[in-house]
């Protein structure tokens, strides 16, 4: 029939998964579940600052650099050029997976354009944080910001450079000499170049055979009609441009970072899935409008085990901030939501949803740009009744307590985006999926 495409001619619905809050939304679990229906999973940005937790058969795996699809034996994984890659951290992760019986042979490709995290980067991360004093960002100290800074300064070293290891060693030694001068000026212990290279160089050499043309591999998969899943790291509120600057990470954590970090075209993205926790958490410094600095926040932290997957730091906890999430939905064209950790709210007498901000007598419907303003805004809450029986074990929405269904419906109405997945526990199968 003229003008109508056969199913075979339709482009595959390549999916993107993004965190819409401050990271730690539970993306790892959603990606792991969606990856079962994918051929290729692609990491787009960030680095070993990320911590994606997946629980399979009672065994917990925390992935920092490897795409969360790696736990499925049929899935191939790409680390895109937007990622900053720490060879030592990746080596540890590969060892852990091997110890757990997960074979990645032939399933992982690292972009030759991805920048390498050098021994100088964590050093400079510590130095910059120390220099900021009380105004520190509270970074993960994984060297993420300094690595992206070197990239922007055009002084970075890329994974593809590992074809000439002696040249890389010379370049890293020069970077160490330069970084040591800066560190000393800031009173931070300098690096011993030989000691630093003794662990870094073998780790770099180990990953060299995994490096290749990830753009070509991605487009070959797309052209072959394979299903691709793009895995965002951190969350939109930590985006370097639209997040709570300067208390952000150093990459674009939204759809922009997916495009620039992998080489996919916007035309090939079929669906953007946003992940939100049923409440809000944040690690590190920076404004947090709905923070609960009381026993309710502590209860969420303990029940939700809200301690950083990468650093172990206690996460700050608070109510769901729908103003921030709506902004994230708008900026990223979010088609569907995954609402995670609903079970952590079990037993709360009442729940609050932040539906507007108030600043100097004015009502705001989107977050202000300046942190100084964001620190001063007051949340406008809508209070809903809680539910007293556990949501865990629910197989469908109909099994959920009425108050839980009302909570979800209010979120959907406010955001004008459907909630397609509902997380009711840590395990892979503790997830309700609704039909689109």
Instruction: List C-alpha distances in Å: 184 to 42, 127, 191, 192.
Output: 39, 9, 10, 13
If one counts every other C-beta atom within 10 angstroms of the C-beta of residue 114, the result is: 26
From the CB of 158, what's the least distance to ligand IMP, in Å?
A: 20
Nearest to 74 by CA among 119, 40, 34: 40
Contact 230, 44 (CB under 8 A): yes
Instruction: List C-alpha distances in Å: 420 to 55, 275, 322.
Output: 21, 10, 17
Pairing of β 419-423 and β 431-433: antiparallel
Q: Which stretch binds ligand IMP (CB under 6 A): 5-13, 247-255, 318-326, 393-401?
A: 247-255
Site for ligand IMP in 49-78 (CB under 6 A): 49-51
Beta strands, E only, 64-157: 76-79, 84-85, 108-111, 115-116
At 275 the three-state DSSP class reads strand
Nearer to ligand IMP, 46 or 160 (CB): 46
Contact 262, 222 (CB under 8 A): no
- Of 180, 250, 290, 332, the one binding ligand IMP (CB under 6 A) is 250
Of 14, 24, 32, 81, which is the active-site residue? 24
Binding status of residue 89 toward ligand IMP by CB under 6 A: no
**24 classed as catalytic:** yes
From the CB of 142, what's the least distance to ligand IMP, in Å?
A: 5
Binding status of residue 91 toward ligand IMP by CB under 6 A: no
Q: Which stretch binds ligand IMP (CB under 6 A): 30-38, 46-54, 152-160, 264-272?
A: 46-54
- Of 15, 20, 21, 24, the one binding ligand IMP (CB under 6 A) is 24
Pairing of β 419-423 and β 316-318: unpaired
From the CB of 48, what's the least distance to ligand IMP, in Å?
A: 9
Provide the mask over 131-170, with x wherever binding to ligand IMP is found by CB under 6 A and - wherever it is not: ------xxxx-x-xx-------------------------
Pairing of β 320-321 and β 316-318: unpaired
Binding status of residue 249 toward ligand IMP by CB under 6 A: yes
CA 183 to CA 124: how far, in whole Å?
7
Of 52, 64, 115, 121, which is the active-site residue? 52
- Of 89, 228, 229, 238, the one binding ligand IMP (CB under 6 A) is 238
If one counts every other C-beta atom within 10 angstroms of the C-beta of residue 141, the result is: 17
Nearer to ligand IMP, 16 or 211 (CB): 16
Binding status of residue 254 toward ligand IMP by CB under 6 A: no
- Of 160, 261, 284, 423, the one binding ligand IMP (CB under 6 A) is 284
Size of the site for ligand IMP (CB under 6 A): 21
Binding status of residue 234 toward ligand IMP by CB under 6 A: yes
Stated as kind and residue range, the H or E segment containing 352 is strand 350-359
CA 88 to CA 93: how far, in whole Å?
9
Q: Based on C-alpha coordinates, what's the Rg of the chain?
A: 22
From the CB of 187, what's the least distance to ligand IMP, in Å?
A: 21
CA 167 to chain centroid, in Å, comes to 33
Contact 73, 103 (CB under 8 A): yes
From the CB of 400, what's the least distance to ligand IMP, in Å?
A: 28
Q: Which two tokens stand for residue 47?
A: 């680095």
From the CB of 393, what's the least distance to ligand IMP, in Å?
A: 29
Nearer to ligand IMP, 160 or 423 (CB): 423
Binding status of residue 23 toward ligand IMP by CB under 6 A: yes
Crossing angle of helices 193-207 and 165-185, in 10° steps, is 140
Binding status of residue 423 toward ligand IMP by CB under 6 A: no
φ, ψ for residue 432, nearest 5 deg: -95, 130
**If you count DSSP H runs as helices and E runs as strands, how many of each does the chain have, helices first?**
12, 20
Q: Which stretch binds ligand IMP (CB under 6 A): 6-14, 230-238, 256-264, 325-333?
A: 230-238
Nearer to ligand IMP, 50 or 94 (CB): 50
- Of 18, 159, 283, 408, the one binding ligand IMP (CB under 6 A) is 283
Which residues lie near ligand IMP (CB under 6 A)?
22-24, 49-51, 137-140, 142, 144-145, 233-234, 238, 247, 249-250, 283-284
Catalytic residues: 24, 52
């Amino acid at each position: 029939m003229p003008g109508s495409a056969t199913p075979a001619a339709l482009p595959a619905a390549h999916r993107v998964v993004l965190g819409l809050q401050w990271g730690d939304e539970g993306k790892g679990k959603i990606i792991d579940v969606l990856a079962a229906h994918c051929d290729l999973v692609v990491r787009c940005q960030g680095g070993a600052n990320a911590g994606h937790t997946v629980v399979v058969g009672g065994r917990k795996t925390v992935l920092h650099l490897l795409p969360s699809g790696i736990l499925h034996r049929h899935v191939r994984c790409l680390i895109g050029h937007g990622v900053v890659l720490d060879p030592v951290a990746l080596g540890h992760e590969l060892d852990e997976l091997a110890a757990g019986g997960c074979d990645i042979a032939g399933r992982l490709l690292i972009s030759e354009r991805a920048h390498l995290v050098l021994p100088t980067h964590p050093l400079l991360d510590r130095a910059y944080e120390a220099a900021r004093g009380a105004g520190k960002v509270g970074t993960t100290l994984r060297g993420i910001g300094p690595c992206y800074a070197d990239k922007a300064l055009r002084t970075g070293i890329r994974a593809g450079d590992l074809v000439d290891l002696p040249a890389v060693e010379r370049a890293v030694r020069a970077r160490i000499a330069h970084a040591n001068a800066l560190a000393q000026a800031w009173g931070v212990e300098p690096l011993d170049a030989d000691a630093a290279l003794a662990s870094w160089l073998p780790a770099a050499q180990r990953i060299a055979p995994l490096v290749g043309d990830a753009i070509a591999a991605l487009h070959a998969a797309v052209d072959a009609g394979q299903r691709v899943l793009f895995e965002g790291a951190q969350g939109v509120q930590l985006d370097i441009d639209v997040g709570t600057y300067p208390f952000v990470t150093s990459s674009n954590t939204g759809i922009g970072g997916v495009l620039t970090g992998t080489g996919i075209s916007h035309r090939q993205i079929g669906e953007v899935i946003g992940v939100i926790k049923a409440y809000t958490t944040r690690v590190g410094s920076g404004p947090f409008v709905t923070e609960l600095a009381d026993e309710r926040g502590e209860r969420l932290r303990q029940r939700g085990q809200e301690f950083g997957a990468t650093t172990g730091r206690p996460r700050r906890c608070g109510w769901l901030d729908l103003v921030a999430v709506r902004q994230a939905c708008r900026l990223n064209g979010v088609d569907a939501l995954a609402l995670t950790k609903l079970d952590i709210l079990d037993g709360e007498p009442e729940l609050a949803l932040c539906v507007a901000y108030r600043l100097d007598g004015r009502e705001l419907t989107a977050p202000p740009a300046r942190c100084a303003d964001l620190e001063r805004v007051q949340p406008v809450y809508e209070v809903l009744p809680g539910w007293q029986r556990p949501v865990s074990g629910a197989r469908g929405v109909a099994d959920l307590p009425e108050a839980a269904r009302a909570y979800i419906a209010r979120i959907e109405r406010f955001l004008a985006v459907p909630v397609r997945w509902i997380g009711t526990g840590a395990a892979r199968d503790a997830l309700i999926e609704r039909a689109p």
